[in-house]
Homo-oligomer: A and B are copies of this chain.
């Protein structure tokens, strides 16, 4: 398991390759990349700053991955989240899950993203033509996380 909170960009291909290197028991690798969009809630976004809670962030990401491991057949996983200043088109977050079977890989990858969105202590501040603003939490993200309950 690899968890990293970093300002540097990441390489999806390299991270996927690292999970499967030297192994022949993995049948499925699902990955997700979240990127900065040039608009949000109807306003143009010129820049974004990502703040986090050092220490708690890494712990909460590791806990989310552990929870996914308890629910699905996860052979290995990588979560990388960038912090600092980002621009439209930049990568924000990467989740990669390796499993024997695709259903587990897809479910665990989406679960980790949904939980990361609602539990990991990151905060986005956007620069728009009207000035800077902290991004509001979305109800749709809460609903996405709720669907894994019960």
Report which A residues bind B (CB closer than 8 A): 11-14, 16-17, 20, 23-39, 88-89, 100, 102-103, 105-106, 109-110, 113, 144
Q: Which residues of B contact A11 (CB under 8 A)?
A: 13
Which residue of B14, B35, B106 is within 8 Å of A32 (Cβ)? B106
16 CB contacts below 8 A, A to B, read A12-B12, A24-B38, A24-B89, A25-B39, A27-B35, A27-B36, A29-B32, A30-B30, A30-B31, A30-B32, A32-B102, A32-B106, A37-B100, A102-B110, A106-B106, A106-B113
Q: Which residues of B contact A88 (CB under 8 A)?
A: 24
B28 touches A33 (CB 8 A): yes
Nearest B residue (CB) for A17: B12
A48 to chain B, nearest CB (A): 12
